[in-house]
Amino acid sequence: MTISSENIDLHAVKSALKKEQNKILFRQIMTNGSLVVGFVIIAFLMLVALFGPLLIAHDPNTMDVLNRFAAPSADHWFGTDNLGRDVLVRVIYGARISMGIGVAVAIIASMAGLIVGIYSSYYKWLDHLLMRISDGIMAFPGLLLALALMAALGGRASNVVIAVSIVATPYIARVVRSEALALKEQTFVEATRALGASDTRIIWRHIAPNTLSSLIVQATFIFAEAIIVEAALSFLGAGIPPPAPSWGNILSDGKTYIYKAWWMTFFPGMTITLAIIGLNLFGDGLRDLLDPHSSKATK
Amino acid sequence: MGGATMDKEPILEVKELKTSFRTERGKVTAVDGVSFDVFKGEILGVVGESGCGKSATAQSILRLYDEKQAIHEGEICFEGKELLSLRPSEMDKVRGNDISMIFQDPLSSLNPVFTIGNQIAEAILIHKNVSKREAYARVLELLRLTGIPAPEKRIHEYPHELSGGMRQRVMIAMALACESKVMIADEPTTALDVTIQAQIMSMIVELNQKLDMGVILITHDLGVVAEVCTRVVVMYLGQIVEEADVKSLFTRPLHPYTQGLMKSIAQLDCDRSQPLHVIKGTVPSLHQIPEGCRFAPRCPFADDLCRSKMPPLEQYGTGQKARCWHAATISEEGEAIRA
Amino acid sequence: MPEHLNEARPLLDVKGVKKYFPVRGALGNTVQEVKAVNDVSFKLNRGETFGIVGESGCGKSTLGRTILRLTEPTAGQAIFEGTDIFAMNPSALQTLRQDMQMVFQDPYSSLNPRKRIGAILEEPLNIHNIGTPRERTEKVLKILDTVGLQTDHYYRYPHEFSGGQRQRIGIARALMVDPKLVVCDEPVSALDVSIQSQIMNLLKKLQRELQLTYLFIAHDISVVRYISDRVGVMYLGQMVEQAPTDAMFADPRHPYTRALLSSVPEPKLDTKRERIVLRGELPSPLNPPSGCVFHTRCPMAKPECKKVVPVNKELSVGHFVSCHLY
């Protein structure tokens, strides 16, 4: 058997096997209610965030003073606010801001949390140092710490991302660290060391990939948290400066007029709630999906 | 050798027991039409490898499975009661009281936050209406019975303070607490060292003789079976493939699986220069049970009949049964049989 | 019998190895030590199998790991082909790892669940930069065949295999770097009996074909006897007896060895066998008994056994015992 015929054989085998594995995965995903529903909600909101503004071509800050406090109608599905701005348009543009911040925080906190968590699990001295810092951060109620950071950094979207990422990282780091600690004791890690692998190789090629399932699940919850914190910060006036239509700002505008124009708080509130529900369902479904897949014995 | 005088009447009768589970890959039948009797005072061995359904059978007898996931069919008769049709509250009265069970891993079978005295006493207080003082007196008695030294001291110790062998004795003490008629021992010594195993097994035999208690001993170790059991049932992939008294099983095993198992064990006097006998292939998954005789794909004697039709469990001589179309001819052709 | 016997130098010469695990107090100081391996010496010749048998807590697994320096030794030497493994610097050790490999006990946790078999098997070659990618794949396919697996298993994940098959993969992984010495740490304990014989035959076949030397660690005495040329019995961190297999089983000298051999349940109907029942419990390795570590349970203990540590004596060729009876 020549080398080339071996490789040809292998490719056919590979695609056949991948097809089979994908079929099983597909079935597992489709039967997972939370996952599907959560995904649909998130996907919908993401699409709105990405393409909504393009389709509407309407400036969210356009004021129509004659039409202030208009109740929801065919012209204005979500009504108008105190300056006559269409609430639906503002919520759609706000999706871009709020979801964008959520994604950014989830990604940054994940990367930072992964590095902190993995290295803490592997080197004891680093563990003491990093975990004490994390404990310090976690000792503050998240929102308060974010507020303090915003006061120090100044009100800008990028600063919101930084502040909330700092608050969120320790949670991911903790999850990753506890997974990594357990993995470190697994025989396959010792086996890889016996093969002569360096620490770095073991950390990044063996331990880190096995923490990803917990990491991703945690990240979806961080995404949800970030949306809430951003909304709270803006609501308190410490987030993204108005008139940017972040969901928190829209809520903030509406708080004075709750009795007069309930739609100014109701719709952004519902949208935030929808996003959180979607993310939580997705995270739960993901956790169920990924759990049986990982290192369980087939006995 | 174990076993006290045996009564003609069985105390436990398992009839065509079937236990299936709903899994994400379809329905899986772990126990498929298993029938056997347990007589008073005997030690019945249930032997098999992983996936054969021996533990599932034991758990089914005591209905330990969550019955939303597991479906039972068949009958289990004990003292005139049909266990599978009892209400949960009635079944609770049977567990630990009439039929008790000890498990493989004594560490995880004991609650780490309670003393062993407390746990054994609990076994008594659940079923018997006695005072705490009486219960603790019985606990001391049981600890002595199971050979635990200084029981007055041990009563206050926690599971992690005891060694593996000690913990298994505690488990046995708990199982004996209510003087059950039948004790199911699920791989009781697999997690223990060989020298401790010897102690525990001889204690089980002693208790069986003293208390005239029926024992169902589940194990994969044929050595333990030879030492301790009176009768044996061999399981493969959810079915019984052979049933015999110990002597017949080891002198004249009828089923090719039993024969193969015995030959593939490295014994202390085997010829080291010869390769070990191998049963080719592996146990199929319960999701892919072969057509016809389940052992056929791995059997050196299989023919087309074996591969198409499932053999029934047939009687061969007194008390020996085998599930094989060719059992009679195989034994006569005489593969090297252990004497 | 392998023809190495005229080779003067053993492949592995283990001298006085100790491995103590410190038990730390509240301030981080060492309060006590678990003497897992307490002065063990033996020689292993090229091409032979040295079996180490003993019960839990005897230190046999720790001994295997210490020799491979998967855990740092406390004292002693392990001389492999003339060089002391324990004295090597990290980079020399890294290269040496190609010569000594290990097969692990638990087939369920010894393979990375997220990697395909092909990747798992190619990794040793990647680590040591052996061959081109194509050559590595070739080698993996060849090894899969040698250990009795199929080509299409290359792309599967560990959870798709049975215990016995995973153990084959573990063995294949150890063989990827063409080692000279393979330490087998309870390689068949977690497997069904009918699979054990398959794996044992495989190990023997590989030893013949690839001229391997095995250090075979197990608690199952019959299995150890089957595969070993020489056997060592360990108790509480010490090697109480070592001898060529036939000599050991025909005439066990140490009381512990005798008790151990008599406890093994045999799958045959024997007439009453003289079973030596050890009294008492295994002492804690935190506080091993004085003198001979076995004296607290020994049916033949004399007053001397409590006070004086027995010397390791050679009773007949290659048969060593540490016991005051001799």
Cβ contact, residue pair C170, A299, below 8 Å:
no
Q: How many CB atoms neighbour CB C281 within 10 A? A: 15
Give the CA distances from residue B251 to residues B216, B247, B269, in Å, rounded to whole numbers and listed in that order: 22, 6, 17
- Contacting subunits of C (3+ beta carbon pairs below 8 A): A, B
Is A5 a member of any domain? no
CATH number, position A266: 1.10.3720.10
Of B95, A99, A192, A245, nearest in space to C102 by CA: A192
Q: How confident is the model at residue B200 (pLDDT cuts 50, 70, 90)?
A: confident
Q: How confident is the model at residue C2 (pLDDT cuts 50, 70, 90)?
A: low
Least confident span in B335-339, C170-174, C287-291: B335-339
Residue C310: alpha-carbon gap to chain centroid = 24
CB C17 within 8 A of CB C7: no
Q: Are residues B221 and B308 in the same domain?
A: yes
- DSSP character at residue C241: E
Which tokens in the block code for residue C58? 């005897």
Is B1 a member of any domain? no
Q: Tell me the average pLDDT across C167-191.
A: 93
Cβ contact, residue pair B49, C264, below 8 Å:
no
Cβ contact, residue pair B50, A299, below 8 Å:
yes
- Contacting subunits of A (3+ beta carbon pairs below 8 A): B, C
From A18, A194, A298, residue closest to C102, measured CB to CB: A194
For the segment C74-110, what is each residue's pLDDT rounded down to a tens digit? 999 999 998 999 999 988 998 899 999 999 988 888 9
Identify the residue among B187, B282, B283, B286 best suited for mutation to test binding to C, counting C beta carbons within 10 A and taking the highest. B282
Spell out the residues 6+ positions from residue B245 whose beta carbon is closer than 8 angstroms to its own: B230, B231, B232, B319, B320
Q: Are residues B161 and B118 in the same domain?
A: yes
Is A265 a member of any domain? yes
Burial of A260 (0-12, 13-18, 19+ CB in 10 A): exposed
Distance from CA of C279 to the nearest CA of B (A): 9
Residue of B nearest to C279 (CA): B199
Q: Are residues B285 and B202 in the same domain?
A: yes
Q: B331 vs A32, which has greater pLDDT?
A: A32
Quote the CA–CA distance of A79 and A185 in Å, as a whole number.
59
**Host domain of residue B157:** 107-177
Q: How many CB atoms neighbour CB B317 within 10 A? A: 10
Distance from CA of A209 to the nearest CA of C (A): 7
Given a cut of 80, whether residue B184 has pLDDT beyond it is: yes
User: Checking phi first, is residue B131 left (phi over 0); if not, alpha (psi -120 to 50) or beta?
Assistant: beta
Question: For residue B189, what pLDDT is reported?
Answer: 85
Which tokens in the block code for residue B103? 């498990």
Q: Answer whether B314 touches C (CB < 8 Å).
A: no
Cβ contact, residue pair B24, A299, below 8 Å:
no
Amino acid occupying residue C70? L
Most confident of A108-112, A290-294, B126-130: A108-112
Q: Are residues B145 and B257 in the same domain?
A: no
Burial of B114 (0-12, 13-18, 19+ CB in 10 A): middle
Q: How many CB atoms neighbour CB B91 within 10 A? A: 16
Question: Checking DSSP bridges between strand C49-54 and strand C213-218, what pairing results, if any?
Answer: parallel
Q: Are residues B199 and B50 in the same domain?
A: yes
Quote the CA–CA distance of C48 and C46 in Å, as a whole number.
6
Q: How many CB atoms neighbour CB B37 within 10 A? A: 18
Quote the CA–CA distance of C88 and C91 in Å, as a whole number.
8
Residue of A nearest to C152 (CA): A13
Q: How confident is the model at residue B339 (pLDDT cuts 50, 70, 90)?
A: very low
Of A261, A233, A258, A260, nearest in space to A247 by CA: A233
C261 interaction partners in chain B (CB closer than 8 Å):
268
- Name the 3-class secondary structure at C147: coil
CB C44 within 8 A of CB C215: yes
Cβ contact, residue pair C192, B50, below 8 Å:
yes
Q: Are residues B205 and B243 in the same domain?
A: yes
From A3, A7, A195, residue closest to C127, measured CB to CB: A195
Q: Where do we find the tokens 């010829």? A: B271
For the segment B46-61, what is each residue's pLDDT rounded down to a tens digit? 999 888 999 999 999 9
Q: Tell me the average pLDDT across C290-302.
A: 90
Question: For residue B190, what pLDDT is reported?
Answer: 83
**Host domain of residue A149:** 32-65+76-293
Is B255 a member of any domain? yes
Which tokens in the block code for residue A39? 């995904």
Is B2 a member of any domain? no
Question: For residue B42, what pLDDT is reported?
Answer: 92
Is A109 a member of any domain? yes
Q: Are residues B264 and B207 in the same domain?
A: yes
Q: Are residues B39 and B187 in the same domain?
A: yes
Q: How confident is the model at residue A9 (pLDDT cuts 50, 70, 90)?
A: low
- Name the 3-class secondary structure at C113: coil
Distance from CA of C194 to the nearest CA of B (A): 6
Whole-model pTM: value is 0.82
Q: Where do we find the tokens 């050979």? A: B147
Q: Are residues B182 and B78 in the same domain?
A: yes
Q: Where do we find the tokens 């239509």? A: A245
The total of structural domains in chain B comes to 2
Give the CA distances from residue A6 to residues B27, B247, C121, C146, C218, in Å, rounded to whole numbers and listed in that order: 39, 54, 17, 16, 38
Of B131, B146, B177, the domain-final residue = B177
Is B5 a member of any domain? no
User: Checking phi first, is residue B177 left (phi over 0); if not, alpha (psi -120 to 50) or beta?
Assistant: alpha
User: Checking phi first, is residue A69 left (phi over 0); if not, alpha (psi -120 to 50) or beta?
Assistant: left
Residue of A nearest to B53 (CA): A299
Q: Are residues B183 and B172 in the same domain?
A: no
The total of structural domains in chain A comes to 1
Cα distance between the two ends of chain A: 36
Of B128, B154, B177, the domain-final residue = B177
Q: Are residues B161 and B188 in the same domain?
A: no
Cβ contact, residue pair C70, A295, below 8 Å:
no
Quote the CA–CA distance of B253 and B264 in Å, as a whole number.
14
Q: Answer whether B337 touches C (CB < 8 Å).
A: no
Identify the residue among C24, C108, C142 best suited for mutation to test binding to A, counting A beta carbons within 10 A and taking the highest. C108
Name the strands in the sheet holding B99-102, side by side, starting at the edge strand that comes first in the sequence: B99-102, B182-186, B214-219, B43-47, B231-236, B239-245, B321-322, B314-315
A200 interaction partners in chain C (CB closer than 8 Å):
none
Burial of B89 (0-12, 13-18, 19+ CB in 10 A): exposed
Planar angle of CA C186, C85, C318, nearest 5 degrees: 65
Q: Where do we find the tokens 């069970």? A: B101
Of B147, B162, B177, the domain-final residue = B177
Identify the residue among C160, C196, C268 best suited for mutation to test binding to B, counting B beta carbons within 10 A and taking the highest. C268
Q: Tell me the average pLDDT across C113-138.
A: 90
Residue A243, preceding peptide bond in cis (omega within 30° of 0): yes
Instruction: Give the number of B-C residue pairs with CB atoms closer than 8 Å.
Output: 122
Q: What domains does chain C contain, in order, with CATH numbers?
A: 3-99+179-322 (3.40.50.300)
CB B322 within 8 A of CB B314: yes
CATH number, position B26: 3.40.50.300
Residue of A nearest to B51 (CA): A299
CB B206 within 8 A of CB B227: no
Q: Are residues B168 and B302 in the same domain?
A: no
Is B338 a member of any domain? no
- Name the 3-class secondary structure at B217: strand
Is A70 a member of any domain? no
Q: Answer whether B24 touches A (CB < 8 Å).
A: yes
Cβ contact, residue pair C105, A187, below 8 Å:
yes
- DSSP character at residue C111: S
A28 interaction partners in chain B (CB closer than 8 Å):
24
For the segment A147-191, what is each residue's pLDDT rounded down to a tens digit? 999 999 888 888 999 999 999 999 999 999 999 999 988 888 888
What is the H or E stretch that residue A86 is in?
Answer: none
Question: Checking DSSP bridges between strand C75-80 and strand C12-24, what pairing results, if any?
Answer: antiparallel
Least confident span in A125-134, A285-294, C26-35: A285-294
**Chain-wide mean pLDDT for chain A?**
86
| Residues in chain C, overall count | 326
Question: For residue B336, what pLDDT is reported?
Answer: 44
C225 interaction partners in chain B (CB closer than 8 Å):
266, 268, 272
